């Protein structure tokens, strides 16, 4: 009898296996040059519970940060360290992600999960995946997972997740800012003041009103549609192209004109804003041929992905006057090499991919990453909206928005950026 009881307790205890310690690699952008903020301009940020389509904001069990803090840099750690270490997991955070021997590549080799942001993307290529036999999941802290070789993730059955909608409205605000800034030629006018000048003729010789212009978006998903909604009060004519046509009620509400091709849209628009994901079907979509079909003097605003545009074709069109301006928040690769032609081309309003990483947005995507991790550790299903690749297939948002293949080629050039 004693032997039987001993065997029973032995088998029972063996069933209570200690949860496996996992290694989470988190690749984030550098801290502020002057160190982490000791205070912030605003003490709080607005509390929002739902997005316009009814989707709830991230709902982790709890968070270990104050919304409005700087979370997207190395010292911010997405507010994850206490949560992960309390569970016995290891968190490694670095900004060193490019070039042979970088810290991220070294840490990836035995990592179970890798987290990266679109603003400082860790290009997870097939070759890198093949050095990481433990890798189970790649999480995008934000939206847009093109920095992951999605085809390789499918082949290796590595799940890919992102925090869909977390910063879509932040990007839409940035689009409106860029449209108005470019059309009114704000950048030039501000530069004149900073240089001590006052020549009004120089300041307005390229400045127009946006009222009455034709504004079009390539893709009318969460970002593109929100940007159109935000531009409607400016009394503009609104256009869109998308492979998924919007409901008739939305078209009627915003007086939208649908185009069945990108060529049709760009031929009539004064401003074109690009809001489609990067994948093999959209890579270098805006090349010399397509730009030649645009209205002469049109503007492009690109907050989607830099590689959707041919960088040399954009620069040439600005030089020739085929384009009046290009405002881009995205580059390829990122960070952009110091000699990237978009840094010096005329009539541009480039920013270093900041549209989706405002302090407000960081609170949402940090909470979303924690929600994804909680579901993973607890063995619960992930939100369909957050899912890009699952069980070796495009799924959820990934199935709706992406195509199979790889768009990471050429990303190794990021090593040519020098701080």
pLDDT tens sequence across 283-326: 999 999 999 999 999 999 999 999 999 999 999 999 999 999 99
Least confident of 1-5, 172-176, 219-223, 401-405: 1-5
Burial 37-50 (b: 16+ CB within 10 A, else e): eeeeeeeebeeeee
> Per the residue annotation, which of 353, 364, 370, 383 is the catalytic one?
353
Distance between CA 327 and CA 210 in Å, rounded?
15
pLDDT single digits (tens) 364-383:
999 999 999 999 999 999 99
pLDDT single digits (tens) 318-368:
999 999 999 999 999 999 999 999 999 999 999 999 999 999 999 999 999
Determine phi and psi for 336, rounding to 5 degrees.
-75, 140
Two tokens, residue 47 = 């509390």
Q: Is 382 a catalytic residue?
A: no
pLDDT single digits (tens) 189-204:
999 999 999 999 999 9
pTM: 0.94
Burial 120-143 (b: 16+ CB within 10 A, else e): bbbbbbeebbeebeebebbbbbbb
Mean pLDDT of 124-136: 98
Mind giving me the DSSP string for 64-97?
Answer: SS-TTS--SBTTTGGG-HHHHHHTT-EEEEES--
Greatest distance between any 2 Cα atoms in the chain: 101
Nearest Cα to Cα of residue 29 among 352, 341, 388: 352
> Per the residue annotation, which of 151, 334, 347, 362 is the catalytic one?
334
pLDDT single digits (tens) 78-102:
999 999 999 999 999 999 999 999 9
Q: Is 305 a catalytic residue?
A: yes
Distance between CA 126 and CA 113 in Å, rounded?
15
> Per the residue annotation, which of 117, 151, 167, 362 is the catalytic one?
167
> Per the residue annotation, which of 174, 305, 340, 383 is the catalytic one?
305
Distance between CA 365 and CA 165 in Å, rounded?
9
* pLDDT over 60 at 13, yes or no: no
All domains in the chain, ordered by first residue: 21-167+357-396+403-416 (3.40.50.720), 168-343 (3.40.50.720)
Q: Is 353 a catalytic residue?
A: yes
């Amino acid at each position: 009898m004693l032997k039987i009881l001993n065997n029973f307790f032995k088998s029972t205890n063996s069933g209570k296996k200690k949860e496996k310690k996992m290694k989470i690699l988190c690749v984030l952008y550098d801290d502020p040059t002057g160190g982490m903020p000791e205070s912030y301009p605003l003490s709080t940020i607005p509390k929002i519970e739902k997005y316009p389509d009814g989707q709830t904001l991230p709902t982790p069990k709890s968070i270990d940060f104050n919304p409005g803090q700087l979370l997207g840099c190395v010292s911010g750690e997405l507010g994850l360290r206490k949560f992960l270490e309390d569970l016995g997991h290891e968190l490694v955070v670095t900004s060193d992600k490019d070039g042979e021997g970088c810290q991220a590549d070294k840490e990836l080799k035995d990592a179970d999960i890798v987290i990266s942001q679109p603003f400082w993307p860790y290009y997870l290529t097939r070759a890198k995946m093949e050095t990481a036999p433990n890798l189970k999941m790649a999480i995008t802290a934000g939206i847009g997972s093109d920095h992951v070789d999605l085809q390789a993730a499918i082949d290796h059955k590595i799940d890919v997740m992102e925090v869909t909608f977390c910063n879509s409205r932040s990007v839409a605000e940035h689009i409106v800012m860029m449209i108005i800034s470019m059309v009114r030629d704000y950048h030039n006018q501000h530069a004149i003041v900073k240089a001590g000048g006052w020549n009004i003729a120089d300041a307005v010789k390229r400045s127009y009103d946006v009222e009455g212009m034709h504004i079009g978006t390539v893709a009318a998903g969460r970002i593109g549609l929100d940007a159109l909604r935000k531009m409607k009060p400016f009394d503009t004519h609104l256009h869109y192209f998308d492979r998924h046509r919007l409901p008739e009620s939305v078209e009627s509400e915003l007086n939208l004109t649908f185009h069945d091709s990108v060529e049709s849209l760009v031929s009539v628009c004064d401003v074109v804003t690009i809001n489609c994901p990067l994948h093999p079907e959209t890579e270098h979509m805006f090349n010399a041929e397509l730009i030649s079909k645009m209205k002469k003097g049109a503007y492009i605003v690109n907050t989607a992905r830099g590689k959707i545009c041919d960088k040399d074709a954009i620069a040439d069109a600005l030089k020739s006057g085929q384009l009046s301006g290009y405002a881009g928040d995205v580059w390829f690769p990122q960070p952009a090499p110091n000699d990237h032609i978009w840094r010096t081309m005329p009539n541009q309003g480039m920013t270093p991919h900041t549209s989706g990483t405002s302090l407000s947005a960081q609170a949402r995507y940090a909470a979303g990453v924690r929600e994804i991790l909680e579901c993973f550790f607890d063995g619960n299903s992930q939100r369909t909206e957050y899912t890009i690749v699952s069980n070796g297939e495009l799924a959820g948002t990934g199935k709706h928005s992406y195509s199979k293949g790889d768009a990471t080629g050429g990303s190794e050039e990021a090593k040519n950026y020098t701080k």
